[in-house]
Structure 1
Amino acid sequence: MRNRDKVRYQLFLEPRLADRLEELAARPGVARSDILVEALDAWLTRQGGHDLDERFGVRLDRMSRSLGRAERDIQVLLESLSLFVHYQFCLNAQIPEPDAAARAVGRDRFQKFIDQIGRRMAAGADSDASIAEAAA
């Protein structure tokens, strides 16, 4: 770009900044105005990014908190379901007393249930069949 296509500005720098600018411009092929243009462009770009953070940051934070709560609730729900199913298979086994044999039957049923759920999740099949049918 030619100089007549540019706008000229005059600015005053503190001595420490002027010294740093002179050090950078001492390298071959580097002009002071190029350094200042790049620095100003970077600063303005960073300010634009800050505006985006101000504009969308609150909304993204709110969405993040909401997703965190949903994830926590799902984890609690899954753990509760797992404990309930385990309780049903172990304590309500069709053996009169929940002895070692009943616990073994319950563990076997629970493992079959988990295996079937794992197969369905691996297959990715969204069927209308209920989890109860998977346990049968």
Structure 2
Amino acid sequence: MKTFKTRHQFYLPDDLSKRLEGLAAKPGSSKTTILTDALRSWLDRKAGDEFDQRFGPRLDRQMRASNRMEVRLDHVVAVLELFVAHQMTLVAHQPPIDEVTGRLGRARYDRFMGQVERTLAARGGKSQPGVGGDA
């Protein structure tokens, strides 16, 4: 009858041998099971190290790029918050907007959004500092 196991003979230091004897003395355990589990665990950890060595640098680069993007986005949000607060302060004591002023404001907003669209289209997804376009 084939057992699908290979016999190995090796020497252990006395202190490890005593510890192995103590573990194997517990009911339901054997030296073979203990050494098999220990060796499998050790080899699996080594495979994890290989994974880290192969993919770790790439993942690190991606993480750094992601962190840079997050910092840039935080800056944009901070500038936008400041701009909105400034604008709200400027218009806080102005009289209500009449129809002509509302149309003018809407036209300016539409031109502004058109400029934003053109700028983003010109960049083609590239990250470039500053905002270009016509004024």
Equivalent positions of 1:6-45 (< 5 A) are 6-45=5-44
Correspondence for 2:125: none
RMSD, matched Cα: 2.0
Correspondence for 1:64: 63
Q: Map Cα deviations across residues 45-88 of structure 1 (whole Å, 9 max, x no partner).
A: 01001100111111111111111111111011011011112212
Point out 4+ residue stretches in structure 1 off by more than 4 angstroms. none
Give the structure, 1 or 2, with the largest relative contact order (CA under 8 Å, sep 6 or more).
1
Gaps of 5+ in 2: 97-112, 114-135
Gaps of 5+ in 1: 94-100, 106-129, 131-136
Q: Map Cα deviations across residues 26-53 of structure 1 (whole Å, 9 max, x no partner).
A: 1012110111011000000010011001
Query: Given the superposition, is the C-alpha separation of residues 17 and 43 from structure 1 closer, same or farther in structure 2, using an over 3 Å criterion?
Result: same
Question: 3-state SS of the aligned residue for 1:102?
Answer: coil
Correspondence for 1:102: 93
Q: Distance in 2 between matches of 1:102 and 1:69?
A: 40
Identity of aligned residues (%): 41
Specify the code of the residue in structure 1 equivalent to 2:35.
Answer: L
TM-score for both structures, normalised by structure 1:
0.64
- Per-residue deviation at 1:4? 3.7
Q: Distance in 2 between matches of 1:4 and 1:69?
A: 57
Question: 3-state SS of the aligned residue for 2:93?
Answer: helix
Q: Distance in 1 between matches of 2:63 and 2:9?
A: 46
